[in-house]
Structure 1
Amino acid sequence: MNLLKNLLLGLSLITLAGHAAAQTMVENAWVRATVPGQASSGAFMTVTASADSKLLNVQSPVAKIVQIHQSSMKNDVMIMQEVESVALPAGKPVVFDTNSYHVMLIDLTAQVKEGDHVPLTLIVEDAQGVKTSMKVDATARALTTDDHGDMHDHSTMKMN
């Protein structure tokens, strides 16, 4: 009986250690700068989780509404629609860009100017249902910036 208790305790500790070691990393986070009066913008980044997870939500004080969207082609027309969450498969980078998933900042509270630092809070849920929030500092880039990561701003964040 004592051996069984020790075995169960050991397995529990291994499971907890694996859960504590799970991390989500965000690289190259940026927001497209806006012109005066522009009501919305997009946020882009690469998100990599060390364990199967999903991105549930993004928040930012620069916009009254923040949504996760996905762009796709249908009948030669680009369609953009809100999604409930984005799967983050273990160890596989998920790129948020204009051609796929991205974050929409809608009803901006002020113009986002090139060089501004835009705070984002990502809400990630792991496979066990544990939700964690992660603060990311995204840099605003010029309207003409290519969104494929050619400009490296070294904004890498990790979440445990």
Structure 2
Amino acid sequence: MTAFTRRAGLGALIGLAATRAQAQGHAHGPIQAEAGWSRAAGAGRVGAGFLTLRNSGAADRLVAARADIARTVELHTHIRDGNVMRMRPVEAIDLPAGETVTLAPGGLHIMLIDLKQALRQGESVPVTLVFEKAGEIQVTLEVQSAGSRGPAAVGGSHRH
């Protein structure tokens, strides 16, 4: 095997590992963000971000999120108000030590308010998550169809 062939093979192996790591999620210290997704939505409307957060370290909190595609980004939950479910902003989302928290429809989620451009199925949206201790993590939300319940990979426990 020539040196060029070995280098090419090594480069391909490194590229494959990087692609696999990206598909599995984004990590920063003890926080792993996985299976990020959103639903298709029109410009000027609202969108939502969903994902699974795994915390293998000490307790932390998701305190903010940012996305260039939206004029405002907030952390939200659903609460029951009489017989009606309503969305409400939350100050932070707790990530207990050693636990998994899933942001999903009907529960905790990231609101993308006043979209600057449409979220189109098949595209992806970069989002920055800001944690109290772990700092910032860049994640990608894969845009699903407008009525999607999410990719099959979304799992874990729901904390509200």
Both structures adopt the same fold (TM-score exceeding 0.5): yes
For residue 74 of structure 1, report the CA deviation from its aligned partner: 2.7
Aligned CA distance change for structure 1 residues 38 and 109 (closer, same or farther; 3 Å) = closer
- In 2, Cα distance between the equivalents of 1:61 and 1:38? 13
Q: Which digits, 9 at most, give the CA deviation of each residue in 1:3-59, with x for residues without a partner?
A: xxxxxxxxxxxxxxxxxx941011110111114x45111000111112200000000
Aligned CA distance change for structure 1 residues 76 and 132 (closer, same or farther; 3 Å) = same
Q: How many residues align?
A: 126
- In 1, Cα distance between the equivalents of 2:83 and 2:111? 22
SS in 2 for 1:111: coil
- In 1, Cα distance between the equivalents of 2:34 and 2:140? 10
Report what 1:42 is aligned to: 48
- In 2, Cα distance between the equivalents of 1:71 and 1:137? 23
RMSD over aligned CA atoms reads 1.8
Q: Out of 39, 57, 61, which is 1:54 matched to?
A: 61
Report what 1:23 is aligned to: 30
For residue 123 of structure 1, report the CA deviation from its aligned partner: 0.4
Structure 1 gap segments, 5+ residues each = 1-20, 154-160
Q: Note if contact 1:22-1:49 (Cα within 8 Å) is conserved in structure 2.
A: no
> What amino acid does structure 1 have at the position aligned with 2:86?
I
Report what 2:18 is aligned to: none
Report what 1:117 is aligned to: 124
Deviating above 2 A after TM superposition, structure 1's stretches of 4 or more consecutive aligned residues are none
Structure 2 gap segments, 5+ residues each = 1-27, 155-160
- Map 1:144-159 → 2, pairs under 5 A: 144-147=147-150, 149-150=151-152, 152=153
Report what 1:9 is aligned to: none
SS in 1 for 2:146: coil
For residue 77 of structure 1, report the CA deviation from its aligned partner: 0.9
The sequence identity of aligned pairs, in percent, is 28
- Does 1:138 pair with 2:141? yes
Q: Note if contact 1:72-1:80 (Cα within 8 Å) is conserved in structure 2.
A: yes
Q: Note if contact 2:105-2:149 (Cα within 8 Å) is conserved in structure 1.
A: no
Report what 1:87 is aligned to: 94
- In 2, Cα distance between the equivalents of 1:38 and 1:143? 15
- In 1, Cα distance between the equivalents of 2:143 and 2:132? 27
